[in-house]
Amino acid sequence: MGSGDRILWTQEGWKAKAKPTRVKSSLLLLFTLFMLSLIIGSLFYVWSRIQVIQVGYEISNALKEERNLVISNKRLRLEVATLKSYGRIEKIATEELRMAKPKPNQVIVIR
């Protein structure tokens, strides 16, 4: 028998009982796997929360940019409408280009 074996007296006689190293190592392995899975799960949870916050910031920035683009679009539409106005075109034609309104006999209607 080995030096670390215990000897127990049973009804069948002398029996050598080995140390339960397999049980201890399997419990240690089970505990290690449990802790490892707990740590990995916690890290995944924290990572997912950080991703949610990051996407929230990106959405907020996109909405802010959309608002700015809508305002810019409104300004540009107003500017186009101002530049296309007949009063402005007539003013430029008469003052800057020195054009005059045509007389009724100079107008030719095409159908």
Stated pTM of the model: 0.55
In whole angstroms, what is the distance from residue 67 CA to residue 75 CA? Answer: 13
The predicted structure's pLDDT at residue 17 = 56
Q: What is the pLDDT of residues 7-42, one digit of tens each?
A: 555 555 555 555 567 888 899 999 999 999 999 999
Take residue 100 and report the two structure tokens written for it. Answer: 């005059």
The pLDDT of residue 24 is 87
Distance CA 14, CA 30 (A): 34
- Per-domain boundaries in the chain: 6-106
Coil/strand/helix, residue 53? helix
